[in-house]
């Protein structure tokens, strides 16, 4: 996905969500700077300039004020509803989707994906994998961290449990949120609990 601000673009990686009632909904990174959804474009399958499925504009966003106002990283997530494309297709119908999980086991084998600027300038999707552990961030952040060398640009990329490498199918249980400068090669992400599921349900009704 690409966020467009005056004079700049921010590219991040995000997946589409599977529920039939929100087939045009995707979890997004919680940039508190987002003000106008007209500046949000989702480009599924982006690879070094190629856009095999076209571009999808945002229709609506749903987030907790705990993030948008208080910047509480436990709630660093937006859910985004997309418009249909010019052919009248929903994103799920065209590209497929991944499952969304909540209250999944902690400390599990996890795969993370994104488009970080430090690897091929954010032009090709990258991934990390490893066993999740409790984050060392502190400050009331009760979520997890995984070994990962991705940096800026990968924000919002999904974390999967039960990921099958041969099919690319798994269950999304978190996303790339932030790194700690003093702890190299680790990515932190919010734990998807019942509150995240409730946020999704708000999005699914839009």
pLDDT at residue 195 greater than cutoff 70: yes
Between the alpha carbon of residue 53 and those of residues 46, 166, 179, the distances in Å are: 8, 21, 31
16-74, pLDDT tens digit by residue? Answer: 554 333 334 555 544 333 444 457 788 888 899 999 888 888 888 888 999 888 999 99
- Long-range (24+ apart) CB contacts under 8 A made by 35-40 are 37/61, 37/80, 39/3, 39/4, 39/5, 40/1, 40/2, 40/3, 40/4, 40/80
Positive/negative CA dihedral, 172, 184, 3, 9: negative
CA gap 46, 43 in Å, rounded: 6
Residue 38 has a pLDDT of 52
pLDDT at residue 4 greater than cutoff 60: no
pLDDT at residue 119 greater than cutoff 80: yes
Report the predicted TM-score, pTM, of the whole model to 2 decimal places.
0.83
pLDDT at residue 116 greater than cutoff 90: yes
Mean pLDDT of the chain: 83
Residue 169 has a pLDDT of 92
Domains (ranges, CATH) in the chain?
2-97+195-204 (2.40.10.10), 99-193 (2.40.10.10)
Decide if 190 contacts 174 (C-beta within 8 A).
yes
135-193, pLDDT tens digit by residue? Answer: 999 999 999 999 999 998 899 999 999 999 999 999 999 999 999 999 999 999 999 99
Residue 12 has a pLDDT of 52
């Amino acid at each position: 996905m690409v966020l467009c601000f005056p004079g700049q673009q921010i590219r991040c990686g995000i997946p589409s969500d599977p529920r039939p009632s929100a087939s045009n909904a995707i979890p997004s990174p919680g940039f508190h700077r987002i003000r106008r959804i007209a500046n949000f474009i989702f480009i599924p399958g982006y690879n070094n300039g190629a856009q095999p499925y076209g571009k999808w504009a945002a229709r609506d966003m749903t987030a907790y004020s705990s993030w948008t106002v208080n910047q509480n990283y436990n709630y660093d997530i937006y859910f985004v509803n997309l418009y249909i494309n010019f052919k009248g297709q929903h994103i799920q119908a065209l590209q497929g989707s991944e499952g969304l999980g909540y209250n999944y086991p902690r400390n599990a084998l996890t795969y993370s994906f994104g488009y970080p600027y430090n690897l091929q300038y954010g032009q090709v999707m990258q991934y990390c994998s490893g066993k999740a552990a409790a984050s060392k961030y502190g400050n009331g952040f009760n979520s997890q961290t995984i070994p990962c060398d991705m940096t800026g640009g990968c924000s919002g990329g999904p974390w999967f449990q039960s990921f099958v490498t041969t099919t690319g199918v798994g269950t999304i249980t978190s996303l790339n949120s932030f790194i700690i400068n003093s702890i190299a090669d680790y990515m932190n992400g919010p734990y998807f609990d019942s509150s995240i599921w409730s946020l999704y349900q708000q999005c699914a009704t839009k």
